[in-house]
């Protein structure tokens, strides 16, 4: 049972790494920070960022990255089928919301 959970966790981590690479290809800076924040897409001094909270599990990172990428021109990039499927599943689970754009205080 724990082994299965560990395998899912590792697979999700790999998907997050792929999504970080996609975000960077599309010109977004991705930062992993610690602090009292949820994370997500934000604009700081004109720079578009996706901020992920180091304390959150990869499943949360995946959801935040998927939301940040929802309106991006993904059809201009090759995405591995598993990555595209993960994005579509994340989008199916959530609806677009104003929570996708967050004020995140970065020092």
* pLDDT number for residue 7: 82
37 domain-assigned: yes
Q: Please give the tally of structural domains in the chain.
A: 1
Does any domain span residue 107?
A: no
How far is residue 58's CA from residue 70's CA, in Å, rounded to a whole number? 18
pLDDT given for residue 9 in this prediction? 84
Report yes or no on 10 lying in a domain: yes
pLDDT at 6 (0 to 100): 76
Q: Which pLDDT score, from 0 to 100, does residue 101 have?
A: 46
Return the pLDDT at 88: 95
Residue 57 is assigned to a structural domain of this protein: yes
Q: Which domain holds residue 11?
A: 2-100
pLDDT for 97 equals 52
Tell me the C-alpha distance between 98 and 19, whole Å.
21
- Read out DSSP for 49-87? EEEEETTS-HHHHHHHHHHHHTTS-GGGS---HHHHHHH
d(C-alpha 58, C-alpha 63), whole Å: 9
Say if 105 falls within a structural domain: no
Give the phi and the psi of residue 75 in degrees, each rounded to 5: -70, -10
Q: Distance from CA of residue 78 to its chain's centroid?
A: 17
Residue 45: CA count within 13 A, CB half-sphere: 4
With respect to residue 29, please indicate whether it lies within any of the assigned structural domains.
yes
- Average pLDDT, 10 consecutive residues per value, the chain (107 residues): 77 96 97 94 95 96 97 95 96 67 47
Q: Is residue 22 part of a domain?
A: yes
Q: Is residue 95 part of a domain?
A: yes
Q: CA–CA separation, 9 vs 15, rounded Å?
A: 10
pTM value > 0.75:
yes
Instruction: Please give the pLDDT value at position 31.
Output: 97
């Amino acid at each position: 049972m724990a082994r299965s959970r560990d395998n899912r966790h590792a697979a999700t981590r790999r998907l997050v790494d792929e999504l970080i690479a996609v975000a960077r290809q599309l010109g977004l800076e991705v930062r992993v920070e610690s602090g009292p924040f949820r994370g997500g897409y934000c604009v700081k001094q004109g720079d578009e960022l996706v901020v992920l909270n180091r304390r959150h599990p990869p499943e949360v990172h995946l959801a935040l990255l998927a939301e940040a990428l929802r309106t991006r021109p993904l059809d201009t990039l090759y995405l591995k089928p598993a990555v595209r499927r993960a994005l579509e599943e994340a989008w199916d689970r959530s609806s677009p919301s104003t929570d996708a754009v967050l004020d995140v205080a970065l020092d």
